[in-house]
Structure 1
Amino acid sequence: MNVRVPTGIKGLDEILNGGFVPASSYLIVGAPGTGKTVLALQFLTESAKKGASCLYITLAEPEESLRRNASVFDFDLKDIVMVDLSEAFEEDLPEGEYSVFSPAEVEGEPIWKQINDAIETHSPQRLVIDSATFLRYLSTDEYQFRKHIQGMVNRLSAKKCLTLLLFEPLELEKDVSLAMAVDGILTLRNETSENRLTEIRTIEVNKMRSFSFMTGRHPLRITNRGIVVWPHRIEKLKEYTYERKMVQSGIEGLDELLMGGLSSGTCTLISGPAGAGKSTLALQFLTTAAKEGQKGVYYSFEEGLASMLERCNAIGIPFQKHIEDGLITFREINPLEQYPDEFLEMLRHDMEINGVNMFVLDSLRGYNMAMETFGSVIANMQNIINYTRRNMASLFIVNEQEMITGNLQITDMGVSYVADNVLLIRYAEVEGRVIKVISCLKKRIGNFQPDLRELIITSQGLKVGKKLHQLHGLLTGVPTTDTIHLPKNPDREDGHEG
Structure 2
Amino acid sequence: MEETRISTGCGGLDHILGGGLPPRKAYMLRGGPGLGKTSLGLQFLAAARHLGEALYIGFQESEAHLLDNARRQSLDIAGVHLLSLGPDETLFTDRQHYDIFHPAEVELEPLVQRITDAIDAHQPQTVFIDSINHLNLLFADTFQFRAQILSFLRYLCSRGCTVMFSTDAGSPADSELQFLADGVIELDEGFLQVRKLRGAWFMTGRHQYRVGVHGLQAFPHHLPPAASIAAPVGEPLSSGSPCLDRLLGGGIEPGTTTLITGPSGVGKSTLAASFARQASRHGRVAIYLFEEELPFYFKRADDLAMGLSALQHDGLLAIEQVEPMRYLADEFLDKVRHETQATDTRLVVLDSVSGFELSLNGENLKERVHAFAKGLARRGISVLLINEIQAISGPMTLTERGISYLADNVLLLNYREENKRMGKMLGVLKKRTGSFDTRICPYRIGPGGVRLLDDEVEASLLNRGNPS
Under TM normalisation by the shorter chain, which class is it?
over 0.9
TM-score norm. by structure 1 comes to 0.87
Contact 2:412 2:461 in 1 (8 A): no
Alignment CA distance shift 1:417-1:104 (3 Å): closer
Distance 1:401 1:308 in 2: 21
Structure 2 counterpart of 1:281, from 267, 271, 282 = 271
Whole-Å separation in 2 of the counterparts to 1:250 and 1:9: 45
Structure 1 129/174 Cα, relative in aligned 2: closer, same or farther at 3 Å? closer
> Who is 1:272 aligned against?
262
Which aligned pairs between 1:150-229 and structure 2 lie closer than 5 A? 150-171=150-171, 173-190=172-189, 201-229=190-218
Question: What does residue 490 of structure 1 align with?
Answer: none
Please state how far the C-alpha of 1:52 moved relative to its aligned partner.
2.2
Contact 1:405 1:426 in 2 (8 A): no
State, as a whole percentage, how many aligned pairs show the same letter.
33
Q: 1:249 — aligned with what?
A: 239
Counterpart Cα distance in 1 of 2:114 and 2:311: 65
Distance 1:175 1:220, change over 3 A: closer
* Counterpart Cα distance in 1 of 2:57 and 2:168: 17
1:235 aligned residue (224, 227, 236)? 224
Shift of 1:175: 4.8
Q: Which amino acid aligns with 2:239?
A: S
Per-residue deviation at 1:460?
Answer: 4.2
1:385 paired residue number: 373
Report the TM-score when normalising by structure 2: 0.93
Residue correspondence of structure 1 range 281-320 to structure 2 within 5 A: 281-290=271-280, 292-320=281-309
Distance 1:439 1:176, change over 3 A: closer
Matched, 1:263 2:253: yes
Taking the aligned partners of 1:150 and 1:474, their CA distance within structure 2 comes to: 69
Q: Is 1:321 matched up with 2:310?
A: yes
Q: Where in structure 2 are there 5+ consecutive unaligned residues?
A: none
Which amino acid letter does the alignment assign opposite residue 219 of structure 1? Q
Distance 1:132 1:478, change over 3 A: closer
Structure 1 equivalent of residue 35 of structure 2: 34
Q: 1:60 to 1:475 in 2, by over 3 A?
A: closer
SS in 2 for 1:176: helix
> Could you tell me how far apart the structure 2 residues matched to 1:321 and 1:66 are?
51
State the SS of the aligned residue for 1:450.
Answer: coil
Is the partner of 1:373 in helix, strand or coil?
Answer: coil
Change (3 A) 1:155 1:462: same
Q: Look up the SS of the partner of 2:209 in the other structure.
A: strand
Amino acid across the alignment from 2:391 = M
Q: Distance in 2 between matches of 1:382 and 1:175?
A: 36
How large is the Cα RMSD of the aligned pairs? 2.3
Structure 1 match to 2:48: 47
Structure 1 position 345, deviation (Å) = 0.5
Contact 1:244 1:265 in 2 (8 A): no
Cα 1:444–1:95 change in 2 (3 A) is farther
Q: SS at 2:298's partner residue?
A: helix
Label 1:240 to 1:328 Cα distance change in 2 as closer, same or farther (>3 A): farther
State the Cα deviation string for residues 47-67 of structure 1 (Å, max 9, x = none). Answer: 11x232211122211112211
Of 426, 429, 449, which aligns to 1:438? 426
Distance 1:124 1:367, change over 3 A: same
Q: Could you tell me how far 1:308 is from its partner in structure 2?
A: 0.5
Which residue number in structure 2 is paired with residue 347 of structure 1? 336
Deviation at 1:456, TM superposition (A): 0.7
CA gap of 1:240–1:348, structure 2 versus 1, over 3 A, is: farther
Render the CA deviation track for 1:25-73: whole Å, top value 9, x for unaligned.
Answer: 011112221111111111111111x232211122211112211111112
Mapping for residues 101-116 of structure 1, pairs under 5 Å: 101=101, 105-106=105-106, 108-116=108-116
Partner residue, 2:143: 143
1:85-104 correspondence runs (5 A): 85-87=85-87, 100-101=100-101
**Code of the aligned partner of 1:465:** L
Residues 281 and 128 of structure 1, relative CA distance in 2, 3 Å threshold = same
Cα deviation, residue 11, structure 1: 1.0
Q: Which residue in the other structure is 2:127 paired with?
A: 127
The offset of 1:370, in angstroms, is 2.7
Cα contact 2:186–2:195 (8 A) shared by 1:
yes
What residue in structure 2 maps to residue 58 of structure 1?
Answer: 58
* Alignment CA distance shift 1:477-1:337 (3 Å): same
Question: Residues 88 and 435 of structure 1: is their aligned pair in 2 closer, same or farther, counting only changes over 3 Å?
Answer: closer
State yes or no: 1:13 paired with 2:2: no
Tell me the equivalent position of 1:486.
none
Q: Distance in 2 between matches of 1:60 and 1:269?
A: 54
Distance 1:324 1:44 in 2: 44
CA distance in 1, matches of 2:187, 2:390: 40
Q: Distance in 2 between matches of 1:27 and 1:90?
A: 32
Q: Alignment partner of 1:259: what SS?
A: coil
Equivalents in 2 of 1:94, 1:245: separation in Å? 82
**Post-superposition offset of 1:89:** 11
Q: 2:400 & 2:90 partners in 1: Cα distance?
A: 60
Q: 1:25 aligned to 2:15?
A: no
- Go from structure 1 to structure 2 and tell me whether the alpha carbon gap of 1:142 and 1:103 turns closer, same or farther (over 3 Å shift): farther
Distance change in 2, residues 1:229/1:104 (3 Å)? closer
Q: Is the 8 A contact 2:136 2:173 kept in 1?
A: no
Q: Do the aligned residues in 2 keep the contact of 1:28 with 1:185 (CA within 8 Å)?
A: yes
Counterpart of 1:41, as a letter, is: L
SS, match of residue 19 in structure 2: coil
